[in-house]
Amino acid sequence: MAEPVVRIPDAKVALSTASVYPESTATAFEIAARLGYDGVEVMVWNDPVSQDIDALRRLSDFHRIPILAVHAPCLLITQRVWSTDPWTKLQRARAAAERLGASTVVVHPPFRWQRQYARDFVTGIWRMADETDVRFAVENMYPWRYRDREMLAYAPDWDVTKDDYRHFTIDLSHAATSRTDAMQMVDRMADRLGHVHLADGNGSAKDEHLVPGRGSQPCAELLERLALTGFDGHVVIEVNTRRAMSGAEREADLAEALAFTRLHLASASSSSSARSSAPSSPGPHSSVSSASAQSAPSSSSAPPSPSPAPSARSSRRSSAKARRR
C-alpha cells in the first residue's frame, strides 16, 4: 500500500496561556478550544486561576482541552508566586503537572543573583527529573541589553546548551533576542530537545514573541525538521498579542499562528514524498511559505513582545541515562 502523501507527526500544538495576555487564563482555555488547538501550556503567574490546580482542572474538563505543559513561575514578576524559594516553585510545578496530566514542566535558568540556586541548578534539575516521569525542559534565554551595554542575567548561562540537562526547551524569540543561530542551537540540543516555544523575532533587544512568519527566525524550517525527525514533544504557540485592538484581532493572530504551525509540521512529509516521486522538480519550501501566507488569517498588526561542552559530569549523565533505558 502506498504511503500517504502527508503524514502528521505525533507532536501536539498547544497554546500558551501567556499568549492571550492581558486576558485571563480562563480566556486562553476558551480560545484554544474554539480555534482547535490540541491543548494548552499553563503559564503560572499572578492570575490566581493559573496557580489553582482545581480551577485549572475544571477549565480543562469544561472546554475538553488537555493541559500539556506547566510553565514554572520563574519570571521577574512571579518571584513571590508559589513561594519565594525557587526549589519549592519547581516542586509545586511538578506536582501540578502530575495532577493535571501534563508531561512537561518548563523552567528558566536562575537569575545570577540567585547564587545558591544557580550553583546547584544543574544537579538539582537532574535530581528532580529522576523522581518523576514529567520532563523538566530547561529553556534558552538571552543577555539583557540596554543601548551598548550587555548584562548576563542568567546562570549558569542563558545558553542552556552549555550545561548538561536531560531535556531542553527551544524558544525562537529568545534565540532572536540573543542573536543566536536557532538551528545551530537545535543541533546542540539534539535528541534532548523535548519542548518548543514557537514565536518569531527580528533580533531586537526586546523579547518580541511575534506571530510565526512575521520575523526572521527559521520557524518553518524548525517545524519541518521536527516532522522529519519524528519529534514527539509539544509545540507551544507563545506569542505576544497585548497590542491587539480587539478580541477578534487577538484570535486572528492565534489562528494564524496555528495555521502556520500545522502547515509546516505537515509540509515536510509532503515535500519528501514529492521529491522522491519527481526528483527533477525543485524543492517546494518557497511555495509552502507562500501558501501559508495566503491561507492563514490576516491581522492588521504585528505585535511585539510581552553541544554542551564535554565534561566528566556529562559522561556520567550519559552513562546513567543509558542504564535507566
- Mean pLDDT check: name the lowest of 123-127, 265-269, 315-319: 315-319
Distances (CA, A) of 45 to 90, 93, 197, 305, 324: 13, 12, 17, 17, 34
pLDDT on residue 149: 82
For range 9-36, the mean pLDDT: 95
Q: Could you give the CA distance from residue 35 to residue 58 in angstroms, rounded to a whole number?
A: 19
| pLDDT > 80? residue 158 | yes
pLDDT above 90 coverage of the chain, percent: 73
| pLDDT > 80? residue 320 | no
Q: Could you give the CA distance from residue 35 to residue 38 in angstroms, rounded to a whole number?
A: 9
pLDDT on residue 324: 42
The total of other beta-carbon atoms located within 10 Å of residue 249's CB is: 16
Read off the pLDDT band of 150 (50, 70, 90): confident
Spatial neighbors of 166 by CB under 8 A, at least 6 apart, are 125, 126, 129, 135, 136, 192, 317, 321
Nearest to 284 by CA among 229, 230, 220: 220
State pLDDT tens for residues 173-210.
999 999 999 999 999 999 999 999 999 999 888 899 99
State pLDDT tens for residues 277-303.
443 333 333 333 333 333 333 333 333
Task: Say which amino acid occupies 86.
Answer: P
